[in-house]
Amino acid sequence: MGVSVLQIFPDASRSGCIETEKLHKRIMNLDAVQCGMFTVDCDSYYTTAQTGGGVRKMHIVHNTETPATTYAILDTGSKQVTLSADYLFDLMLPRLDHMYQSKKNLKIESKGAKYEVGDFVVKIGTVTMSGHYKGILVEVEYLPSVTPALCWSLMREFMQSFMGSCVKPTVPPYLQNKFHDVHTPQDTVQQYVEKFNEFREGPTFTGATPSAPSS
Amino acid sequence: MAAPECSSVEVLTTNLNSLRTLRSSVTLFFKIIAEGPKEENSNDGEHSFPEMAAKCLTDVKNNLRDLETHVAGLTPSTVPVSLGNTGLLSLDPSPDKLPLYHQLLDCYTYVEKIHCYSTLMHSLLSGNNLKRSSVSLPLSTKRRRPAQLNHSVPQQQVDMLIQGINQMFQDMNLNISRPFGNNAVVQVTLGQVLRAVVTFRGILIEWVVVRAYNEPLVDEDGKVDLYTPSQYKVFQKVTDNANAAMLNFCSPGFSDLSVRSFFTWLHSFVSLFTDVCKKCNYHLHNHMPPTWREFRTLDPFHEECKP
């Protein structure tokens, strides 16, 4: 398990497939090897009225990289608590329906192809929310390193090489908070939840038009 | 405690004496038989030969009876006799069935000679490299074996050397173990960047494997894994370069200095992912960070940017 960074790739054409094709072509020029598909999906549950207190969210996330694990992330607004459980945790959720109820139209997933470039793993995902296209989310993982502090600038250079200037030179806030900690699969999943929330709430197509890669 | 021991020793001595008498009388009997009847004084020899033989035989019989009575008086020892390692001698396989021992011996002699010659050559070449033609060392110096060979140094010396290196660097942790008897295996943890296994033979570095920080140092059996290469391309390359550096730093004359310079070189990989290449000023080339460190200056370079 290396260090993962997520990046929203701006899609001005709003069609999805043209931009993913472009990314596919660029990454293949870097001697990438395509090695299968991946899916990360996220269901959101809200507390029901009778539990009292403020409304709290719970995100249930599955990642095909860790197929035997279900992640439950309790989102209180200011703080996030992650629970990594066995896959059978899903069967327990219907029993909790007096406390947490699912919002069906908020189911969001990122799905796409996975590439290997040297020691990097690149996943170019198309994000869809209940069937509607929302944008492109790229995950870059650097396997040999364990802490973001050691390899961030190296990863930024790699990401800029095929995504261009949409990669900001500053460290993403989530990684900044855990800059010197050992990266875990939970960190990857929490970043996905963060990005999915951006897709749900904000304007879908952020950023400027994609520019040519620097190298 | 002493008295019975003393008496038993006396009894044993008398037993041995009677045994000796028996043997000498048997030898005498055979000698008479072998010589046969004497011919020069045949008139009394004909009488004496069978008589003498019969007399000897009765001696033998008497001596044997003595011995038997003495032996009956002996008590067998109750304490088992410990033979130590000599007890294993009976287990030694015959060398003509199993040639392993001789092969090992040949191999050992060969390696010993190589180390011996390299040490001699090193002292010769470093002595006067300007006057190549007139190497005039006295013959006795050539013939003399070096006092101490690099591959057979006491354990304490290696331990002290590793301890010294361990204290030189704060972020590099060395852990020494000896899973194969005398030769040391050093497990190195360098920050949160890498882990390495350095195998020693005496005070010479024999083999280096570098792996990622999150890859295990031990195999399934819980032993130190000396051979499995890293699954990441970066560390496979660093392993190759570390072995090259180990050979570069190796010098038979100053072996502890060579070990120290190797670990100093290895320590420079603490910034493997953060340093940019000195030549091209980029982190990545061919999707690899700068995996080469210059031997003297420790400057980072990509494999392709090496000077």
| B6-43 core/surface letters (b: 16 or more CB in 10 A; e: else) | eeeeeeeeebeebbebbeebbeebeebeeeeeeeeeee
Identify the closest residue of chain B to A117 by CA–CA distance. Answer: B287
A–B interface: beta-carbon pairs under 8 A: 54
Residue A113 makes CB contacts below 8 A (sequence gap 6+) with A24, A34, A36, A37, A38, A123, A124
B169 CB contacts (<8 Å, ≥6 apart)?
A: B263, B267
Percent residues over pLDDT 70 in chain B: 80
Instruction: Say whether residue B304 is in contact with chain A using an 8 A CB cutoff.
Output: no
Specify the 3-state DSSP secondary structure of B298: coil
Confidence check: pLDDT of B145 > 60? no
The C-alpha torsion from B174 through B175 and B176 to B177, rounded to 10°, is -150
pLDDT tier, B94 (very low <50, low <70, confident <90, very high otherwise): low
In Å, what is the CA distance from B196 to each residue of A10, B145, B147, B175, B215?
A: 42, 35, 32, 11, 10
Residue that wins the pLDDT comparison between B115 and B78: B115
Nearest CA distance, A15 vs chain B (angstrom): 31
Alpha carbon distances (Å) from A64 to A4, A41, A71, A109, B227: 15, 9, 12, 12, 32
Query: Among B270, B300, B266, which residue's Cα sits nearest to residue B283?
Result: B300
For residue A180, CA distances in Å to A142, A176, A200 come to 15, 9, 30
Nearby residues of B261 by Cβ (< 8 Å), 6 or more positions away: B249
- Burial (CB count within 10 angstroms: exposed 0-12, middle 13-18, buried 19+), residue B197: buried
Report the pLDDT value the prediction gives residue B148, as an integer from 0 to 100: 60
Q: What is the ipTM of this complex?
A: 0.83
pLDDT, averaged across chain B:
82
Suggest the residue from B194, B211, B236, B273 to mutate for an interface test with chain A (most A CBs closer than 10 A): B273
Q: List all residues of chain B from 262 to 281 with a beta carbon under 8 Å from chain A.
A: 273-274
Give the residue from chain B lying closest to A121, CA to CA: B287
pLDDT at A40: 94
- Chain A contact for B236 (CB, 8 A cutoff): no
- Of the options 1.25.40.390, 3.30.479.10, 3.40.50.720, 3.30.310.180, the CATH number for the domain spanning A3-39+108-201: 3.30.310.180
**pLDDT on residue A104:** 75
Contacts of B303 in chain A (CB under 8 A): none
Mean pLDDT of all residues in A137-151: 93
Is B50's pLDDT higher than 90?
Answer: no
pLDDT tens-place string over residues B25-49: 999 988 888 888 776 555 555 567 8
Sequence ranges of the domains in chain A: 3-39+108-201, 40-102
Distances (CA, A) of B134 to A140, B116, B121, B137, B253: 64, 22, 15, 9, 21
Q: Nearest-CA distance from B218 to chain A in Å?
A: 18
Residue A102 vs residue A7, higher pLDDT: A7
- Band the pLDDT of B131: cuts 50, 70, 90: low
Cα distance between the two ends of chain A? 28
A-chain CB neighbours of B290 within 8 Å are none
Task: Tell me if chain A has a CB within 8 Å of the CB of B24.
Answer: no
Burial of B104-142, coded b for 16+ CB within 10 Å and e otherwise, reads eeeeeeeeeeebeeebbeeeeeeeeeeeeeeeeeeeeee
Q: Does residue A49 register a pLDDT over 60?
A: yes
Contact B287 A143 (CB under 8 A): no
Residue-wise pLDDT for B233-261, tens only, equals 999 999 999 999 999 998 877 888 999 99
For an interface test with B, give the residue of A27, A119, A147 to mutate (most B CBs within 10 A).
A119
The per-residue pLDDT for range A163-200, each reduced to its tens digit, is 888 888 889 988 888 899 999 999 999 999 999 988 88
Region A123-152: mean pLDDT is 91
Instruction: Extract the tokens encoding A193.
Output: 């939840």
* Cross-chain residue pair B287–A119, CB shorter than 8 Å: yes
CB-CB neighbors (< 8 A) of B193 in chain A: 145, 150
Give buried/exposed letters for A14-28 (b at 16+ CB in 10 A, else e).
Answer: eebeebbebbbebbe
Best interface-test mutation with B: which of A28, A150, A214 has the largest number of B CBs within 10 A? A150
Chain A neighbours among B 159-198 (CB < 8 Å)? 192-193
In terms of Cα–Cα distance, which of A213, A160, A202, A214 is closest to A22?
A213
Q: Which residue of B has its CA nearest to A118?
A: B287
Q: What is the mean pLDDT of residues B182-186?
A: 89
